[in-house]
Amino acid sequence: MKDIAESSDRLQGIFNITVTPFTHDGAFDWDALAGSIERIIGLGFDGILIGGTYGEFAAMSADERAELFRRVMDVAGDRVPVMLCSASSEASVARDLTVLAGELGGVPMIMPPYVSEVTDEQIVAFFQDIAPLSRTGAIIYNAPGTGITLSPALIEILAGIEGIVALKQGDLSPAAIDRIANRVGGRIRLFCASDLAFFGPMMSGFDGISSTNSCALPEIILRSFRALQGGDAATARDLHRLWYPLRELARKYGQPQSTKAAMNVRGFDGGSVRRPLRDLEGAAREAVEDAVRALAWDASTGVRLP
């Protein structure tokens, strides 16, 4: 992306949250990462998201994250839009990564500073300081898992800040989605942050979703999203139902652990997670493997075989 106008235009559709594959000793597996990006682009996803919470950014140093940004953009180029998570509890790191993301042609995702007792006013000031630094604009990343949930009222204020082009919304409560869709929609692009329950936000008028499980089940999740996008809710629902057992396990055992285990069953080289996370073992890993194999994949269609 070259500027904010292009970001505003292209940020829509289904974005794959590309997991970061590590070796067992915690090193980056760059070849596996490049393979994942090529597979997702080849299947026709609208974009990719790199280094978010499920990309394990919190387990990386600032230098590692900068290298991740550069390597990903070398692979993806301008073929699809790339969201690059620049969040950090250290303001200088968030600032530097936000600038770098824009310079590389990606779009930075900014979280509120997840520090003790931060106020709404301080969050607004933080975004006002950092968002305009990216030449491609910036994305609000509302990630309740970090301990801070942005209210719909605060999101309305943040949406008016110079440089803000989109929101990745992790609070999927119906009331929050309804207000955001109707009061912020049309001003900036809106993304549902979860593939576990994206029907409500999309039917409310969101512009797209981000999906971690599409690293393991890219065909079926892509088809389900495209069906919903095209107005065929029944087909989207039926496809979504097919992988409920894996969604249940993702909620039970966590992501990206379950996602990487499912990828490895399919030979997609998801690699390992990095500490403090742990790879699934024993009964947990077997349950994920069984759920994936039960889908009896036909990779050409992404539909379960009879």
Chain segment 102-114, per-residue pLDDT in tens: 999 999 999 998 8
One DSSP character per residue, 163-200 reads: TEEEEEE----HHHHHHHHHHTBTTBEEEES-SSS-HH
Residue (of 65, 43, 49) closest to 11 by Cα position: 49
pLDDT for res 80: 98
Residues contacting residue 248 through CB under 8 Å, at least 6 positions apart: none
pLDDT for res 16: 98
The single residue listed with the structure tokens 């285990």 is 261
pLDDT for res 306: 44
DSSP H/E element including 18 = strand 13-18
CB 292 within 8 A of CB 218: no
pTM comes to: 0.95
pLDDT for res 116: 82
Spans of the chain below 50 pLDDT: 305-306
Residues contacting residue 283 through CB under 8 Å, at least 6 positions apart: none
Q: Which fold has domain 4-232?
A: TIM Barrel (3.20.20)
pLDDT tens readout for residues 9-61 = 999 999 999 999 999 999 999 999 999 999 999 999 999 999 999 999 999 99
